[in-house]
Amino acid sequence: MPRPSPKRSKKTTASRKATSAAAPASVRTRLDVDERRAQLVVLAVQAFSDRAYDEVSIDALSEAAHISKGLLYHYFPSKRDLYAAALKHTAEELLQATALVEALPPIERLHRGLETYLDFVARRGPAYVALMRGGIGSDPSIASILEATRRAFLSRVVAGIEEDFPDLGIGPVEEAKLAPVLHAGLRGWIGFVEAGSVDWVESHASSSASERAASRQALVMLFSTVLGEVLRLAPPR
């Protein structure tokens, strides 16, 4: 006579169901090294955009990534390293989003680049503000990211001077041979664009779409006009 199978306690059954339900989640979070690092950087970008540096919790980030804090520190030895990676990611996104469209006519290319720049600022406002303000003082690694971003934009501006402002008759300009006054003026213009963009995104946080579009276009014209004046007043060589 077959023996009846023992009854499973409700606690045991519930435990097995919980284990079974949790299994797919653990599989979904088993990422390779590059994928895990990319995931942590994206989470960090969001976290540091939403909160001040000191308010971001490594415990919360590791929990959001479904990994231990120790594993997070395996990828990024310190919170500062993770922050630097998040800023670098934002800077790379910004440079990629504003890549020049070579086929456009003169000046329109500059306008399109500035429009794309402001579109990025509007879309990723908190991350952009965090990038421009550094967040943790005069840290050398953060400063190097900001400097590299600004130098990339300076190179683009210099490369487009001849085509974007043909009426000035400047001709081809080499960045390495820029006159000190023009170099200072262009760096100052880049700082003006950065500061103006931060103010724009913060002051229009609650504006309507039509108001943002109108102010965006006005800002593009302002930035373009100021750049033209810098080039007119400063000798290129």
Q: What is the pLDDT of residue 130?
A: 78
Q: What is the pLDDT of residue 136?
A: 60
Torsion of CA 179, 226, 197, 108, to 10 degrees: -100
CB 207 within 8 A of CB 167: no
Q: Over the stretch 58-101, which tens digit does the pLDDT of each residue have?
A: 999 999 999 999 999 999 999 999 999 999 999 999 999 888 76
The total number of structural domains in the chain stands at 2
Q: What is the pLDDT of residue 124?
A: 81
Are 98 and 195 found together in one domain? yes
Residue 6, in any domain of the structure: no
Question: Which residue, 55, 77, 99, sits at the end of a domain?
Answer: 77
Least confident range from 30-39, 135-144, 199-208: namely 135-144
| 28: containing domain | 13-77
Chain-centre distance for alpha carbon 190:
16
The CATH number of residue 33's host domain is 1.10.10.60
* Structure letter (DSSP) for residue 135: S
Are 57 and 144 found together in one domain? no
pTM of the entire predicted model? 0.76
Q: What is the pLDDT of residue 15?
A: 42
Q: Over the stretch 138-197, which tens digit does the pLDDT of each residue have?
A: 688 888 998 999 999 998 888 888 777 777 767 667 777 788 899 999 999 999 999 999
Are 224 and 237 found together in one domain? yes
Q: Which helix (H) or strand (E) holds 24?
A: helix 10-28
Are 107 and 72 found together in one domain? no
Are 134 and 147 found together in one domain? yes
Are 149 and 174 found together in one domain? yes
Contacts of 112 (CB under 8 A, 6+ apart): 101, 104
